[in-house]
Amino acid sequence: MENIAIIFAGGKGTRMGTEIPKQFLEINGKPIIIHTLELFQYNPNISKIYITTLENYIPYVKDLVKKYNINKTIDVIEGGDTAQDSIYNGLVRVYEDNKDNPLVILHDGVRPMIKNEIINNNINVAREKGNAITCIPAYETFILSEDGDKIDNVPLRKNSYIAQAPQTFFLNDILKVHETFRAKENKYGDAVDACNLCNILGIDTHIVQGNRGNIKITTPEDVYIFKAFLEYKEMEQALGIGLTNDFGSQQEEIKQSMR
């Protein structure tokens, strides 16, 4: 059974404040989307890649995957109005080619710092339990508020996690979830990711421990963090020393040493 990555890269980058979408910003000579795609290209457990993106950027993305030899790419297709629409389009396209219910690893094109180990753990947990959601423990207190004014609930920090990507499912299962929501009048409503959709439907989902460095590049500050991460990796390779590749953990160690 195959493990297929669906990389959704249809964002318009409004919060970044740039003329081009954030996934196409060049960092250290390569677009962010390529930094992300290379993680799946060079993971031996990933057999195919499908990419969803903005319609007018499809030829550009096809040129990029050719230029950077992302040869696991099967197709680049049009995304949708929301991330969930884009993922659905990707799921439908994967189903056209793969009727044997493969695992699909859903990943955001602007999360280029996911660790190889976490991709593999997603696959292993999903095969054992039916799905896998990458999460990290909450390091600050979560506040829940319906109106943005009054605090309604303060979950215990020990029970609080932050969901990230990738999120991994068997194709038929997650396609059915999406089709259930798309039949509704307001479609996805306020749901923003697959684990949210499953939770609304009462479907159990399962945690894979993520890495804190696995940020979603959304703002200019995130770009600076990613550049620092790449410089750190270059130093690691140049010096040939066994430093951890979990940038988030390294940052935490530095903070601890300064206290």
In a domain, 157, yes or no: yes
Run of H or E residues at 23: none
The Cα–Cα gap between 177 and 194 comes to: 8
Contacts of 63 (CB under 8 A, 6+ apart): none
Cα 55 to chain centroid distance, Å, stands at 20
250 assigned to some structural domain: no
Residue 7 tokens read as: 């990389």
The number of folded domains in the chain is 1
Beta partners for 143? none
Domain for residue 26, yes or no? yes
Q: How far apart are CA 80 and CA 24, in angstroms?
A: 17
Q: Which residue has the higher pLDDT, 256 or 27?
A: 27
Q: What is the CA radius of gyration of the chain?
A: 18
The CATH number given to whatever domain includes residue 15 is: 3.90.550.10
Where in the sequence is the domain holding 185, given as residue range(s)?
Answer: 3-219
136-190: pLDDT as tens digits:
999 899 899 999 999 999 999 999 999 999 999 999 999 999 999 999 888 998 8
Q: What is the pLDDT of residues 76-89, one digit of tens each?
A: 999 998 999 999 99
Express as a percent the part of the chain with pLDDT over 70: 89
Could you read off the pLDDT of 199-253 as tens digits, one per residue?
999 999 999 999 888 989 988 889 888 888 888 877 777 776 654 444 444 444 4
In a domain, 70, yes or no: yes
Task: Classify residue 174: in a domain, yes or no.
Answer: yes
Q: Is residue 231 part of a domain?
A: no
Task: Please report whether residue 255 resides in a domain.
Answer: no
Mean pLDDT, rounded, for 64-92: 95
pLDDT score for 251: 43
Q: How many angstroms separate the CA atoms of 256 and 146, rounded?
A: 35
Predicted TM-score (pTM) of the model is 0.87
Residue 16 in any domain: the answer is: yes
